[in-house]
Structure 1
Amino acid sequence: MQEIRCPKCNEVFQVDDSGYSQIVQQVRDKEFEKEAARRAEELEKAKNSELKIIEMEYEKKLESALSEKSDDISDKEKRITELEARLKSIESEKQLAVANAVRERENSFSEESRKAQKAISDKDIEIAELTAKLKQADNERAFAVDKANSENALALAKKDNEINELNSKLQNKDNEAELRCRAIEEKYAVELKNKDELIEQYKDFKARLSTKMVGETLEQHCLTQFNSLRMSAFPNAYFEKDNNAKSGSKGDFIFRESEDGIEFISIMFEMKNEMDTTATKHKNEDFFKELDKDRNEKGCEYAVLVSMLEADNEFYNAGIVDVSYKYPKMYVIRPQFFIPLISLLRNAARNSLEYKRELALAKAQEVDLTNFENNINEFKNAFSKNYQLASKKFNVAIEEIDKTIDHLQKTKDALLSSENNLRLANNKAEEQLSVKKLTKNAPSIREEFENIANRQSLPGAD
């Protein structure tokens, strides 16, 4: 059962499928009749406009021919006028000559009178010649007029024939247009039927797809497009799915290309699609922030959103949309611009490859110079450290030597002092070490020593 709303009372009533198809067929027949009537009216207007154009061209050519003939006739009339003026001038001269002759005749009948008669006869001859020329000019004018009329008649007959031929051609065109209209009607009916079937198939296909399958269908489409041109257009490129989701999110595909070990372009792709029956419709802007985050985490220079969202938005349907005003080097495209955008960005980046090579070489040279400076600094630091340690040890050794010298000096002084004391002791021993001095304060011991000495001094004592 199908529901139909009345446009006047807004009442909804139901009809079965057969009734609904009959209503649809009636609407289609009326639309087709309107279209056929419109096409017939357009063909009739085109036919009338072509006839008007032909008539205008014919009138223009006829006016041109008449103007040429009228110019010719005016030239003849001008010539006749000049001849008449000349004739009048000759007649006036003749009258003047006659008057002069009369006056001269009255005066005398001399030789001059004969000359006047001769002049008069000459003038008469000239007048006769001019009269003959005037008649000839009239005849030529009449002949030119007759000729122009005959030519105009022939031109009119020719134009009539052309008009008849054009009418026959227009009739043929009308027949051809009618045949084309019939063919268009048949073709329209077939195409309409095919489109209806295609719409039904598409709706059925969409109904069977899940949300995940809708997105994967767009990804598979882009992957198929790229793989079809990979070996011919991008033989050295890397184009694979982004499977690194350590940060909690990831893109769909990453495109990278390098030459001589120098990466000159990298693109993060995100594919977004949704079903027609999805209740919550997303916008392209909803995915810009996440795409920029994934691009920065994966170290890609460009970010591209391949989107089927907002299908009625003319801004995104215009072609390659640059949204760098929100996020740097970010683009939004429809699937048909997938390969053209890669080629565009790749060719633009390839132009800067030489600069990147020079930059890499400069960086390498700078790294070498930095390493050289680091080696020198390390050598300086090690040498300085060793020098400081050696200097410190040397100073310690000098200090120890100085201490040793001081100690030896003290030992020397002590030895010298001991020698002096020994000398003094020896002197004291030599001076004071005697029995007399030793027994000075010991009278008993002194007496004992005296007794011993006395006994030794006695004869016969051992």
Structure 2
Amino acid sequence: MNEIKCPHCGQAFTVDESGYAALLQQVRDTEFAREVAANRQLVEQAATANRESAVAQAREALSEELAKARAEAERSRAQVELERQKAAAELAEALGQARTGLQERIAQAERERDELRHRLDAQRSEAELREKALVADQGLRSAEERRKLETERDRLLLELDRAQAGAEELKLRHANELASQAKMKDEAIAVREREIENMRRMRAELSTKMVGESLERFCEDEFNKLRATGFQTASFGKDNDVVDGSKGDYVYREFDQAGAEVVSIMFEMKNEMDATATKKRNEDHFKKLDQDRRNKKCEYAVLVSLLERDSDYYNTGIVDVSFASGYPKMYVIRPQFFIPLITLIRNEALRSLGVRRELEAVRRQNIDVSNFEDQLGEMKERFGKNVDVARRKFQAAIDDIDATIRKLEKIKAELTSSDRNLDLANRKLEDITVKKLTRKNPTMKAKFDEAWALRAESVDGSDDEHLAEAVLLDDE
């Protein structure tokens, strides 16, 4: 038996070994529950901190990679634009240099002609002056000298004629070159006009569906040219699955060696005939294209368009319309940029593949943390149920102990009261005498007196009361 003192009232009571062990187990369970709650809170805080740290690091890494990708794309776009401008400038400079060189040659020929003419005029004037001087000073020269002067004059005149003929020939050659260039230009313009006319005639003969299919066929051919060498793990085909009453034209998907998707693009090809009365704009197709991208779970959306052919905005190259239209990862291109855009998006996806794998690992870690939290929650729930059952049983045992204590106290009180009643009854019994019993009872007193008188001789006087009692009992 163990004695326990109540900390509130100070009353001490004893309990058996099982009750004492139950009380100790209750104290241990309470301390254990407190420690489990504290450890659980620490584990939850650590898990939350680790998860938030991992998510923050992943977001930061993804933001850095996206910023690098955007910067690389901007640099590539700027490089392409710079090269195009440089090529145009070089072409214009070459044409200008050719034109300037030709003009300089003509000007030089004209200067040489004028110089030669001036020289001949000067020589002629000098000869005439010399001739006049000779005539004035010496008179007539001999026929031989005159012939020499005439021969020199004729030679100079012949050189002048030759120079004039060369200048005329050079001018004629230049005129012929200009005429040839003009003829070639006219022929090129005529060929271009015939091509445009043939294209217009062909488009006038084609239906709207055939015009659209011609653009689709062009994209298919461009992709199939490089499929075996550059897109061995990629698929590019028509979108035949209708979702919510809509489908795109083509879907491009590429996978890594493990079979995981690297990048996916939803393509929409739009073309129209020149004679179409109602001209559509590119932005009229953005909403449907974005919806098709979402339905097929593609990452990018690309509109290959020949609409708005006079728009400088769409003719510059690859146009990112995600910010202007509000639809994410959407581009508008002309058909000649079909393969370059796929290459840019694919290279960017391959560069960010490591980041995606790290994010997938973080996601799996978050799933593990979530599973751990779920298991911890289940364990806490089961532990809580066991604690509740133990608490209820312990409380029931305490109630039973209290009831037993109250019952024992009641029995103790009843036994104490019974003992006091027995003492009172014993004292009352000891106080009973024949005199008290025969008091106020003449009949009994007469019988006792008679009994005493009959046995007075054989019994001592000291035993009179006992004798009377014996006689009374015999009478009864």
Q: TM-score, normalised by structure 2?
A: 0.50
Deviations, residues 416-456 of structure 1 (Å, cap 9, x unaligned)? 43344345446656765x999889888889999999999x9
- How many angstroms does 1:342 deviate by? 1.0
Deviations, residues 98-156 of structure 1 (Å, cap 9, x unaligned)? xxxxxxxxxxxxxxxxxxxxxxxxxxxxxxxxxxxxxxxxxxxxxxxxxxxxxxx9xxx
- 1:218 and 2:215 matched: yes
1:204 is aligned to 205
1:346 is aligned to 346
Amino acid corresponding to residue 284 of structure 1 in structure 2: N
Deviations, residues 10-41 of structure 1 (Å, cap 9, x unaligned)? xxxxxxxxxxxxxxxxxxxxxxxxxxxxxxxx
SS, match of residue 206 in structure 2: helix
SS, match of residue 248 in structure 2: coil
2:368 is aligned to 368
2:252 is aligned to 255
- CA contact under 8 A between 1:316 and 1:333: conserved in structure 2? yes
Please give the residue correspondences for 1:62-461 in structure 2 after superposition, counting only pairs within 5 Å. 199-206=200-207, 209-210=208-209, 213-242=210-239, 245-259=242-256, 260=258, 263-296=261-294, 298-323=296-321, 324-327=323-326, 328-422=328-422, 424-425=424-425, 428=428
Deviations, residues 48-69 of structure 1 (Å, cap 9, x unaligned)? 9646546768999xxxxxxxxx
How many angstroms apart in 2 are the aligned matches of 1:388 and 1:236?
59
- CA contact under 8 A between 1:262 and 1:356: conserved in structure 2? no
Number of residue pairs aligned between Structure 1 and Structure 2: 315
Decide whether aligned partners of structure 1 residues 247 and 235 sit closer, same or farther in structure 2, where only a CA change above 3 A counts.
same
Amino acid corresponding to residue 358 of structure 1 in structure 2: E
- CA contact under 8 A between 1:243 and 1:250: conserved in structure 2? yes
2:133 is aligned to none
How many angstroms apart in 2 are the aligned matches of 1:278 and 1:57?
61
Amino acid corresponding to residue 326 of structure 1 in structure 2: S
Amino acid corresponding to residue 200 of structure 1 in structure 2: R
Decide whether aligned partners of structure 1 residues 296 and 381 sit closer, same or farther in structure 2, where only a CA change above 3 A counts.
same
Decide whether aligned partners of structure 1 residues 261 and 364 sit closer, same or farther in structure 2, where only a CA change above 3 A counts.
farther
Unaligned runs of 5+ in 2: 1-99, 116-154, 455-469
- How many angstroms does 1:365 deviate by? 3.1
Decide whether aligned partners of structure 1 residues 428 and 220 sit closer, same or farther in structure 2, where only a CA change above 3 A counts.
farther
SS, match of residue 325 in structure 1: helix
How many angstroms apart in 2 are the aligned matches of 1:326 and 1:56?
63
Q: Decide which structure has the larger Cα Rg and report it.
A: 1
Pick which of 368-377 and 385-394 moved more.
368-377
How many angstroms apart in 2 are the aligned matches of 1:169 and 1:264?
66
Deviations, residues 271-330 of structure 1 (Å, cap 9, x unaligned)? 222333332211112222333344345544322211122223232222212223333432
Unaligned runs of 5+ in 1: 1-44, 61-152
Decide whether aligned partners of structure 1 residues 400 and 178 sit closer, same or farther in structure 2, where only a CA change above 3 A counts.
same
- CA contact under 8 A between 2:253 and 2:263: conserved in structure 1? yes
- CA contact under 8 A between 1:306 and 1:334: conserved in structure 2? yes
Aligned alpha-carbon RMSD (Å) = 5.2
How many angstroms apart in 2 are the aligned matches of 1:215 and 1:444?
146
- CA contact under 8 A between 1:264 and 1:356: conserved in structure 2? no
How many angstroms apart in 1 are the aligned matches of 2:317 and 2:287?
21
Decide whether aligned partners of structure 1 residues 222 and 428 sit closer, same or farther in structure 2, where only a CA change above 3 A counts.
farther
Decide whether aligned partners of structure 1 residues 164 and 413 sit closer, same or farther in structure 2, where only a CA change above 3 A counts.
same
Q: TM-score, normalised by structure 1?
A: 0.51
How many angstroms apart in 2 are the aligned matches of 1:163 and 1:319?
55
Higher relative contact order (CA 8 A, sep 6+): 2
Decide whether aligned partners of structure 1 residues 246 and 310 sit closer, same or farther in structure 2, where only a CA change above 3 A counts.
same
